């Protein structure tokens, strides 16, 4: 059997009696399972607020800590893979998440819950990466990154909508704790399958876990948490009127200065300082921010419309989560088709994705009315999620063309500062603030509107401004020539090539130390 890191697809970590045809499907199911995990499942936010006595902001903060945790392991993933076996990594990731899921149910201390969420998110990405890294040649035998990346994003982005739908179903029929217990049971089954179906197969000599910048990881995580906290709790503390909010705001530049200063003066920082000097990287991060801005409107504006104006229940809107899964699959499928058959510049596909995001905002502007029914939201939901998937996949492909392995995974963390929590929280806070401003402005005009009518007017005004900003950005995208570094998409490197890179690095470190 050929070695999995340099020949045709094979999975020698399985025991011999496991049929080869089902082996990659099991790992794909494992990846989906890891993506469905969490600690506080935000699909049941209202029920958790009422049951635990926590504020809505507290629940959101705990949920976002899981998102931060998911973003931080990227620079360490290949080092973990070259040190531990697949069997060990999967069992460790699943065990950590099980403990976090259960521990969440027995405390309401927000700092403890935040720490648990962060650890669970960290383990979640480690487990997901280990699954996908072993079936990459099954997904794309020719190692085409433009096929592999959108394929895994079908699972990653689709799991977000599926997780919310599953959470709401279990919460409606049982309680919000049911999702924690359900995922705990599923993970225990996963661990049993791993123990029975796989063995401790080591495909290369293990590399020691040295030169890993754990402190840098902690500092960057702290910076993300501080920024997220400012915008999640901004409305609650009335922004700069609160001494606590001002103190955290002052801590952000201090943390940034310490983090950047340390990054520039150590041998192997968590993120290389040279990556920030890529001019194209700044443009890519800005495009990620634009996508998050357009994708964040449902979290505030749509929820305000359906809850405050239309008074829809949780089970009325839950079907939209399944349409989000369909939209994500459509967007990723478009990217794969563009790579394999269309073969046109990815700038055109990027424009198509942004137009789909903009069409969602325009349709919602005209749909805001007291007679809106849930069926009319299907098309805007599919357009938004498909456009976001196209944008997400295409920008990551651009990132791949700009940065070589293994620094690409550092760049993924940098883009994660934008797309994994920070910008989402920033624009959620901005939309909430402007919604409150429009409500106060309408009330101050002395017009005879009741609360639902005032909310509806404020939501419509907010969507209108998003449409205007989106049109301006679309014009800028059409004017600005944004092309990748190369005209062709690189192939994924073999694991033995990456391992040689790390071995050279370790040898150089030993020589420098002596």
Cα 465 to Cα 256, 362, 411, distances in angstroms: 32, 10, 32
Shortest CA distance to 117 belongs to which of 153, 70, 157? Answer: 70
| The length of the chain, given as a count of residues | 514
Q: Distance between CA 400 and CA 28 in Å, rounded?
A: 23
Fold for domain 10-212? Growth Hormone; Chain: A; (1.20.1250)
User: Which residues make up the CATH 1.20.1250.20 domain(s) of the chain?
Assistant: 10-212, 269-483
Evaluate whether 152 touches 139 at the Cβ level (below 8 Å): yes
Full pLDDT tens readout for the chain, 514 residues? 344 444 567 888 899 898 988 999 999 999 999 999 988 888 888 888 888 888 988 998 998 999 899 989 988 888 898 888 889 999 999 999 999 999 999 988 999 999 999 999 999 999 999 999 889 889 888 878 888 889 999 999 899 889 999 999 999 899 889 999 999 999 999 999 999 998 888 777 777 777 788 999 999 999 999 999 998 998 888 888 889 999 999 999 999 999 999 988 887 888 888 777 777 787 788 888 888 888 888 888 888 888 888 888 888 888 888 999 999 999 999 999 988 888 777 778 888 899 999 999 999 999 988 888 889 999 999 999 999 999 888 888 888 777 776 677 888 888 888 876 677 778 888 888 888 888 887 777 777 777 788 888 888 988 999 999 999 988 887 776 554 434 444 555 555 655 666 566 666 656 655 5
Sign of dihedral through CA atoms 330, 332, 333, 335? positive
Place of tokens 């494992």: 30
List the Cα angle 76/151/375 in 5-degree steps. 120
Total-model pTM: 0.89
Place of tokens 């049941």: 44
Element (H, E) at 149: helix 145-173
Q: Distance between CA 33 and CA 91 in Å, rounded?
A: 13
Other CB atoms within 10 Å distance of the CB of residue 111: 11
Give yes or no for a cis peptide into 480 (omega within 30° of 0): no
CATH of the domain spanning 269-483? 1.20.1250.20
Q: What is the DSSP string of 338-362?
A: IIIII---HHHHHHHHHHHHHHHHH
């Amino acid at each position: 059997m050929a070695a999995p890191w340099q020949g045709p697809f094979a999975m020698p970590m399985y025991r011999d009696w496991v049929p080869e045809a089902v082996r990659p499907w099991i790992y794909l199911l494992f990846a989906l399972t890891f993506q469905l995990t969490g600690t506080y499942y935000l699909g049941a936010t209202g029920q958790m607020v009422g049951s635990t006595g926590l504020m809505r902001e507290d629940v959101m903060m705990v949920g976002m800590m899981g998102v931060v945790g998911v973003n931080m392991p990227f620079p360490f993933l290949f080092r973990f893979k070259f040190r531990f076996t697949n069997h060990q990594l999967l069992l460790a990731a699943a065990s950590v998440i099980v403990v976090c899921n259960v521990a969440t149910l027995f405390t309401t201390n927000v700092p403890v819950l935040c720490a648990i969420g962060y650890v669970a998110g960290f383990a979640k990405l480690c487990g997901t990466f280990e699954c996908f890294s072993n079936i990459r040649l099954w997904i794309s035998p020719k190692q085409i990154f433009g096929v592999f990346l959108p394929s895994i994003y079908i699972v990653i982005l689709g799991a977000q909508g599926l997780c919310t739908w599953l959470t709401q179903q279990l919460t409606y029929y049982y309680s919000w704790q049911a999702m924690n217990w359900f995922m705990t049971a599923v993970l225990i089954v996963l661990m049993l399958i791993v123990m029975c179906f796989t063995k401790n197969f080591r495909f290369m000599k293990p590399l020691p876990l040295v030169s890993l910048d754990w402190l840098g990881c902690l500092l960057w995580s702290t910076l993300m948490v501080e920024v997220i906290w400012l915008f999640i709790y901004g409305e609650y503390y009335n922004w700069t009127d609160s001494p606590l909010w001002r103190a955290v705001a002052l801590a952000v530049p201090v943390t940034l200065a310490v983090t950047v200063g340390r990054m520039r003066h150590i041998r192997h920082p968590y993120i290389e300082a040279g990556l920030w000097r890529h001019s194209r990287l700044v443009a890519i991060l800005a495009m990620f921010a634009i996508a998050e801005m357009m994708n964040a409107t449902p979290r505030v504006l749509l929820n305000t419309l359906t809850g405050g104006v239309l008074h829809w229940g949780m089970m009325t809107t839950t079907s939209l989560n399944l349409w989000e899964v369909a939209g994500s699959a459509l967007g990723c499928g478009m990217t794969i088709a563009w790579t394999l058959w269309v073969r046109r510049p990815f700038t055109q596909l990027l424009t198509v994705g942004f137009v789909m995001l903009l069409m969602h905002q325009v349709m919602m502007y005209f749909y805001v009315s007291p007679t809106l029914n849930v069926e009319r939201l299907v098309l805007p939901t599919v357009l938004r999620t498909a456009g976001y998937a196209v944008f997400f996949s295409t920008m990551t492909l651009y990132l791949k063309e700009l940065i070589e392995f293994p620094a690409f995974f550092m760049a993924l963390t940098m883009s994660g500062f934008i797309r994994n929590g920070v910008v989402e929280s920033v624009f959620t806070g901005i939309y909430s603030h402007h919604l409150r401003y429009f409500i106060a402005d309408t009330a101050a005009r002395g017009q005879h509107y009741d609360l639902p009518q005032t909310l509806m007017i404020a939501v419509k005004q907010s969507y209108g401004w998003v449409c205007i900003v989106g049109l301006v950005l679309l014009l800028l995208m059409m004017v600005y020539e944004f092309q990748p570094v190369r005209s062709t998409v690189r192939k994924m490197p073999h694991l033995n090539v990456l391992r040689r890179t790390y071995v050279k690095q370790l040898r150089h470190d030993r020589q420098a130390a002596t």
